[in-house]
């Protein structure tokens, strides 16, 4: 595994280990982080670890035209009990995601440094947030990186009310023109919505076709 220095560069993706870990170190400058996404790499580490950079093979993705919406979810959408907005309050969304308690994790991987980096990327038009409101209260949301309006790299989501983040995610995708949603790693939740594995090489083809 390569340790990064101040240069904004990464080793070839083929050097990633079996888990997808490619490199460590470097920094979380907006320039480096966005360059990483453009090249199929993302940061993910816990607060007591060095910065770790990943490029898993296979990659877990969702094709928007394969999005699965259950009957019960369609019913919730029809009731319009939630209001969904985009880029209304990025900082509140990423902070809420950071505060979510997750199984098998002693702390959040969304550190204060990472929050500031992604907020800066949002200011530059490179990161998006989706907010879900109920009675004018923020009850769910998600955020991620957008690559040339064609690929959305989802990072994290939160829900304070049942189904809130799911409604936000589905509504966001249904009203977008993305060719691909990068989910990064497998979860049963995203699989239930239609996400699937593709090879890293195929994922890179989508990135280069932007």
Whether residue 103 is found in the same domain as residue 163 = yes
Residue 24 lies in domain: 2-57
Strands (E), 19-150: 21-25, 42-43, 52-54, 59-62, 83-86, 127-134, 137-147
Whether residue 110 is found in the same domain as residue 187 = yes
Separation of alpha carbons 78 and 72, rounded Å: 10
| Whole-number pLDDT of residue 101 | 75
Whether residue 52 is found in the same domain as residue 67 = no
Whether residue 12 is found in the same domain as residue 112 = no
Whether residue 51 is found in the same domain as residue 69 = no
Q: How many domains does the chain have?
A: 2
- Strand duo 21-25 + 42-43: pairing: unpaired
Whether residue 178 is found in the same domain as residue 124 = yes
Separation of alpha carbons 90 and 92, rounded Å: 6
Whether residue 197 is found in the same domain as residue 97 = yes
Write out the two tokens for 62.
């969702």
Whether residue 93 is found in the same domain as residue 118 = yes
Whether residue 53 is found in the same domain as residue 65 = no
- Residue 203: closest CA among 151, 157, 155: 151
pLDDT in tens, the chain (210 residues): 899 999 999 999 999 999 999 999 999 999 999 999 999 999 999 878 999 999 999 999 999 999 999 999 999 999 989 999 999 999 999 999 999 876 554 456 899 999 999 999 999 999 999 999 999 999 999 999 999 989 999 999 999 999 999 999 999 999 999 999 999 999 999 999 999 999 999 999 999 985
Residue 40 sits in a domain whose CATH number is 3.30.70.3550
Predicted TM-score (pTM) of the model is: 0.94
Whether residue 95 is found in the same domain as residue 192 = yes
């Amino acid at each position: 595994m390569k340790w990064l220095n101040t240069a904004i560069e990464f080793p070839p993706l083929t050097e990633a280990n079996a888990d997808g870990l490619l490199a460590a170190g470097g920094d979380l400058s907006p320039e480096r982080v966005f360059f990483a996404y453009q090249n199929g790499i993302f940061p993910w580490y816990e607060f007591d670890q060095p910065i770790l950079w990943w490029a898993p093979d296979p990659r877990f993705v969702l094709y928007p035209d394969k999005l699965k919406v259950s009957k019960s979810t369609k019913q919730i959408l029809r009731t319009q009990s939630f209001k969904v907005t985009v880029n209304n309050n990025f900082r509140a969304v990423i902070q809420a995601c950071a505060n979510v308690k997750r199984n098998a994790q002693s702390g959040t991987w969304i550190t204060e440094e990472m929050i500031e980096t992604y907020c800066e990327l949002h200011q530059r038009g490179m990161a998006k947030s989706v907010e879900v409101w109920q009675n004018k209260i923020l009850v769910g949301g998600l955020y991620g990186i957008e690559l040339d309006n064609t690929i959305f790299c989802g990072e994290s989501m939160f829900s304070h009310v049942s189904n809130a983040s799911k409604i936000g995610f589905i509504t966001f995708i249904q009203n977008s023109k993305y060719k691909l949603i990068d989910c990064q790693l497998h979860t049963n939740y995203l699989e239930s919505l239609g996400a699937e594995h593709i090879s890293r090489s195929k994922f890179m083809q989508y990135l280069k076709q932007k």
